[in-house]
Amino acid sequence: MGDSGQGTGTTPESKRKDVRRNQQTLLDAAAAVFLTSGVDAPVRDIAAEAGVGTGTIYRHFPTRADLVIAVYRHQVEACAEAGPALLAAGPTPHAALGRWLDLFVDFLVTKHGLAAALQNDTSGFEALHAHFLDRLLPVCTQLLDAAVAGGEISDDLDAYQLMRGIGNLCIGADSDPRYDARPLVALLVAGLRRPH
Amino acid sequence: MGDSGQGTGTTPESKRKDVRRNQQTLLDAAAAVFLTSGVDAPVRDIAAEAGVGTGTIYRHFPTRADLVIAVYRHQVEACAEAGPALLAAGPTPHAALGRWLDLFVDFLVTKHGLAAALQNDTSGFEALHAHFLDRLLPVCTQLLDAAVAGGEISDDLDAYQLMRGIGNLCIGADSDPRYDARPLVALLVAGLRRPH
DNA sequence: AACGATACGGAACGTCGTTCCGTATCGCAA
DNA sequence: TTGCGATACGGAACGACGTTCCGTATCGTT
């Protein structure tokens, strides 16, 4: 609600041809730049890559965070949809949760600077944080609840704290060869089981 | 070595009176501003609080990170010195490690934005990261080695990864009432013991 | 072909960390 | 005390950033 039908919303279906073309050009350019320079790449770089003025970016995506959201929307969606599937497939809810978090970590770790941007309270990335939460928190909650219901883990930790912690652990996992988030995540997930 | 005797080094013992006065004024002002506005507060705010020009700050502290280092130097030192003491006092090395990490977490969590700044690869905060590492990594290594030697934990994880993970978990623990790093840290530390 | 609506490009703004330089202050020597 | 060289000071200026604004170019329609 309140979404006027463009930018971060569902496909705009605009009247003008150049608008639709630029929307896609922009997404492709942003994806390419994010891949090489990270999510924190300057807006001007993305505009240059797309062969477009900076104003055009802001007409399509009200803020840089909205552009990031749009670029990764499909992968976030895929991650969200994997949750129930894993729950149905896995031997136990805890195993499913572990596998789902692996997906999440893989996603974050392979996108340069995304994990850091997610928790960045400065410079208007709150929308990014909010979008990830809106889409993924319910999935995490479902997995966690199932594990709790099955008695595999206790309910000490809520889904928000878990996701936030996992996300935090992924910060800098790119760009620092000495650091690998995965063992720590594994430790955390393992520790979730049978507390005490 | 290589320290020309001012800025982040040991007390400068400068000839001129105004220099010494400003050094202290600056540290006090920075501490006050960090307390209210966080570690990311603009340099100009600190200059204003101290009643000083921005140039003066940069003459005393070559970069913003050096100022942050100087403000928290004593507390980092205290944390470092607590390591061996805890190791000598605690019932086991693992318990000492746990208590020491609690100190570290308390320190990070009570300084608004410090944990985030520590891992911030943008905007020249590398010196901050490096200083924390120089001072605290040996201590952590000592605790970890003792625990490994005692057979309490295995050596899957090196001290760097552990410290980095703990530091990451503390990001945003201030400024987000829904998130508390401590339970996650406790989970991690507990999981360190007897892997497998 | 002409027109109104819409989108475009990129200059301009405010904020940041940092640098630079003309001026004020310091400590010392006479 | 006064003068002087060395040193530190304040704050304007710079470049990079996210974002906004507006004169101009392009679109779809009549």
Instruction: Confirm whether any atom of chain C, the nucleic acid strand, is less than 7 Å from CB of B43.
Output: yes
Task: Give the pLDDT score at B44.
Answer: 97
Instruction: Confirm whether any atom of chain D, the nucleic acid strand, is less than 7 Å from CB of B59.
Output: yes
Instruction: Confirm whether any atom of chain C, the nucleic acid strand, is less than 7 Å from CB of B58.
Output: yes
More confidently predicted of A150 and A2: A150
Instruction: Confirm whether any atom of chain D, the nucleic acid strand, is less than 7 Å from CB of A40.
Output: yes
For the entire predicted model, the pTM comes to 0.91
Q: Which residues of A touch B191 (CB under 8 A)?
A: 187-188, 190-191
- pLDDT tens-digit series, residues B75-113: 999 999 999 999 999 799 999 999 999 999 999 999 999
**Subunit contact B171:A171, Cβ cutoff 8 A:** yes
- pLDDT tens-digit series, residues A37-85: 999 999 999 999 999 999 999 999 999 999 999 999 999 999 999 999 9
| Residue A110: strand, helix, or coil | helix
Lowest mean pLDDT among A5-14, A176-185, B108-117, B179-188: A5-14
Task: Give the pLDDT score at A6.
Answer: 37
Give the distance, in angstroms, between residue B44 CA and nucleotide C14 C1'.
Answer: 14
How confident is residue B16, by pLDDT bands cut at 50, 70 and 90? Answer: confident
Residue with tokens 């997995």: A143
Which residues does B contribute to its contact with A (CB < 8 Å)?
40, 116, 119-122, 156-157, 160-161, 164-165, 168-172, 175-176, 178-181, 183-184, 187-188, 190-192, 195
- pLDDT tens-digit series, residues B109-155: 999 999 999 998 777 899 999 999 999 999 999 999 999 999 999 89
Task: Give the pLDDT score at B1.
Answer: 32
Residue A98 pLDDT exceeds 80: yes
- Integer CA distances (angstroms), A192 to A97, A150, B165, B180, B187, in order: 10, 13, 17, 16, 7
